[in-house]
């Protein structure tokens, strides 16, 4: 029996096994003298007794798609002396595919005749897979970094920028080259630079994530608000070798936030004015009548008893003086009213549906805190109201808050608020329905009077203000409720521009 395997020292054999590297020797003059190492058989998945000693046995295991390349290389080596070295796949008898690196030396005699071919074949499957993994991971990294909606930057330990992604450049309005080194700091808004530096160093010192909201000032003058985060990049030994961070463009959010804040501010301002106006109106009305009566009585008395004053001049003086004081008081009341009336904002066309949505959004936090479910049921194609926008918003706000407060003692799962709008030819009706404690018929008539309240902190002007606002628009407000069964407030406002002038006869009915 011919020896099929190359005889080799045990240590070499062991080395081949560890490196998954097999070898073979071929004698072209006598193909039957083909020998190979045991490791080669293992690489090809052949068991001890499956190897028949023929070179073809290996060749048939070359992956069909690689066979031509292998043949060509082999021929090129023999004919043209081109070194044989290539990576190709093999298919083991069990069907599994492996990658191998095959190399061979062609040994010739002095006349150039082929004497022997010595080849090695190494299983490189693991290496290739590792490479493939790296390649995939790199591709993923690139995809992530490029397609990412956040700006990404990478600096060295000194804070010199070594990388920014495209999105970062977009946000900052700088080119990548401009950002490298210390250039990236130029993107920071000058007013935020010092604060960011302080926060950054504090984060680095305390080994925590840097998180902050700040501004980029683009070269074109745009201001971009960003939410930035950054973390230290540590080496294996735990020292900081750089920083990686992200920036997210939050300009839009910030604008919404600022608009909300501004609206809240405006609303607060309007609210104060409206409250003062209501108070002044109520006071002026209540004081005018008695003050008027006082002056009438005094003047009548002065005329009637003029003769008495010659014998009693002090009485005349006192009456005249009292009259002056009463007139002064009338004057003061009048001035306060005039002052308040001057603050009236101008009217404009108002889309009531949009205003309702905006108002609900404005107090979204309060609605959430009170765990009230709000349903909007708004009519389509509603006509605009010729109106004071802030007044209307105040009206909505007062009614919504009033309804929410009425639901304070109700189980949270039953707290519901429905805001409806209905359009008719000449008017808009707004209905606000709650599931609160409600009120009786008696309260319903006094509800809109000033200084009527059931709340501990209330002054009782909220609904009185509502009535004043509605009447200013030539409209009507009604409340409908039964105790314990919630309440519905109905506001009717005319859309006809002319009817916005106060209807005096209708106002009469409410005014006292």
Nearer to other proteins, 250 or 273 (CB): 273
Q: At what angle do helices 313-342 and 251-304 cross, to 10 degrees?
A: 160
Cβ 315 to other proteins, closest distance in Å? 16
Nearer to other proteins, 323 or 378 (CB): 323
Cβ 474 to other proteins, closest distance in Å? 10
Cβ 271 to other proteins, closest distance in Å? 23
Nearer to other proteins, 31 or 300 (CB): 300
Q: How far is CA 484 from CA 407, 410, 439, in A?
A: 10, 10, 7
Q: Closest Cα partner for 375 from 416, 428, 343, 436?
A: 416
Q: How far is CA 486 from CA 107, 113, 269, 416, 432, in A?
A: 104, 110, 31, 10, 11
Q: Closest Cα partner for 105 from 80, 69, 81?
A: 81
Q: Is 399 in contact with 358 (CB distance < 8 Å)?
A: no
DSSP 3-state of 479: strand
Residues in the chain: 512
Cβ 448 to other proteins, closest distance in Å? 15
Nearer to other proteins, 68 or 501 (CB): 501
Nearer to other proteins, 219 or 292 (CB): 292
Q: Is 131 in contact with 117 (CB distance < 8 Å)?
A: no
Q: Is 249 in contact with 226 (CB distance < 8 Å)?
A: yes
Nearer to other proteins, 267 or 284 (CB): 284
Cβ 297 to other proteins, closest distance in Å? 5
CA contacts within 13 A on the Cβ side of 276 = 15
- Give the DSSP letter string of 65-127: TTHHHHHHHHHHHHHH---EEEEEEEE-TTS-EEEEEEEEEEEE-TT--EEEEEEEEEE-HHH
Cβ 479 to other proteins, closest distance in Å? 19
Alpha helices in 370-461 (DSSP H): 389-406, 441-446
Nearer to other proteins, 113 or 512 (CB): 512
Residue 175 and residue 187: Cα distance in Å, rounded? Answer: 11
Cβ 511 to other proteins, closest distance in Å? 5
Nearer to other proteins, 262 or 289 (CB): 289
Residues at the interface with other proteins (CB under 8 A): 284-285, 288-297, 299-301, 303-304, 327, 330, 334, 337-338, 341, 501-502, 504-505, 507-509, 511-512
CB-count exposure of residue 416 (10 Å: 0-12, 13-18, 19+): middle
Cβ 476 to other proteins, closest distance in Å? 16
Tokens for 103?
């190399």
Nearer to other proteins, 115 or 318 (CB): 318
Cβ 505 to other proteins, closest distance in Å? 4
């Amino acid at each position: 029996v011919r020896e099929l395997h190359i005889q080799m020292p045990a240590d070499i054999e062991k080395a081949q096994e560890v490196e998954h590297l097999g070898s073979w020797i071929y004698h072209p003059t006598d193909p039957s003298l083909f020998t190979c190492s045991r490791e080669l058989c293992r690489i090809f998945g052949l068991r001890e007794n499956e190897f028949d000693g023929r070179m073809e046995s290996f060749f048939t295991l070359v992956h069909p798609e690689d066979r031509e390349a292998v043949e060509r290389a082999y021929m090129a080596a023999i004919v043209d002396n081109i070194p044989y070295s290539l990576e190709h796949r093999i298919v083991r008898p069990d069907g599994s595919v492996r990658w191998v690196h095959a190399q061979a030396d062609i040994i010739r005699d002095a006349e150039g005749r082929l004497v022997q071919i010595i080849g090695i074949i190494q299983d490189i499957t693991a290496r290739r897979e590792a490479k493939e993994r790296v390649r995939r991971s790199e591709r993923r990294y690139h995809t992530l970094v490029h397609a990412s909606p956040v700006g990404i930057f990478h600096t060295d330990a000194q804070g010199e920028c070594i990388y920014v992604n495209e999105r970062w450049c977009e946000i900052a309005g700088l080119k990548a080259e401009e950002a490298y080194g210390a250039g990236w700091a130029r993107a920071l808004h000058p007013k935020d630079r010092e604060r960011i530096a302080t926060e950054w160093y504090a984060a680095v010192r305390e080994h925590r994530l840097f998180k902050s909201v700040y501004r980029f000032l683009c070269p074109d003058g745009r201001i971009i608000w960003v939410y930035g985060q950054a973390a230290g990049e540590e080496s294996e030994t735990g020292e900081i070798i750089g920083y990686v961070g992200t920036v997210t463009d939050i300009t839009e959010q910030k604008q919404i936030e600022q608009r909300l804040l501004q609206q809240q501010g405006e609303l607060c301002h309007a609210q104060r004015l409206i409250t003062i106006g209501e108070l002044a109106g109520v006071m002026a009305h209540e004081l005018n009548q008695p003050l008027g009566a006082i002056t009438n009585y005094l003047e009548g008395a002065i005329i009637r008893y003029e003769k008495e004053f010659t014998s009693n001049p002090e009485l005349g003086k006192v009456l005249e003086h009292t009259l002056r004081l009463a007139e002064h008081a009338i004057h003061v009341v009048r001035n306060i009213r005039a002052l308040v009336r001057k603050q009236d904002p101008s009217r404009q066309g108002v889309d009531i549906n949009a205003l309702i949505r905006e108002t609900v959004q404005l107090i979204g936090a309060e609605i959430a805190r009170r765990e009230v479910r709000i349903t909007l049921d708004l009519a389509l194609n509603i006509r605009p109201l010729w109106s004071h926008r802030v007044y209307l918003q105040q009206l909505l706000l007062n009614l919504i808050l009033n309804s929410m407060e009425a639901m304070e003692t109700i189980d949270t799962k039953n707290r519901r608020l429905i805001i409806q709008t209905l359009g008719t030819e000449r008017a808009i009706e707004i209905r606000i329905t709650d599931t609160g404690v409600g009120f009786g018929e008696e309260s319903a008539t006094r509800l809109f009077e000033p200084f009527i309240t059931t709340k501990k902190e209330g002054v009782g002007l909220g609904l009185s203000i509502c009535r004043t606002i509605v009447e200013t628009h030539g409209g009507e407000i009604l409340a409908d409720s039964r105790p314990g069964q919630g309440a519905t407030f109905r506001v009717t406002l005319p859309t006809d521009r002319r009817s916005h002038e106060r209807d005096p006869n209708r106002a009469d009915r409410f005014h006292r």
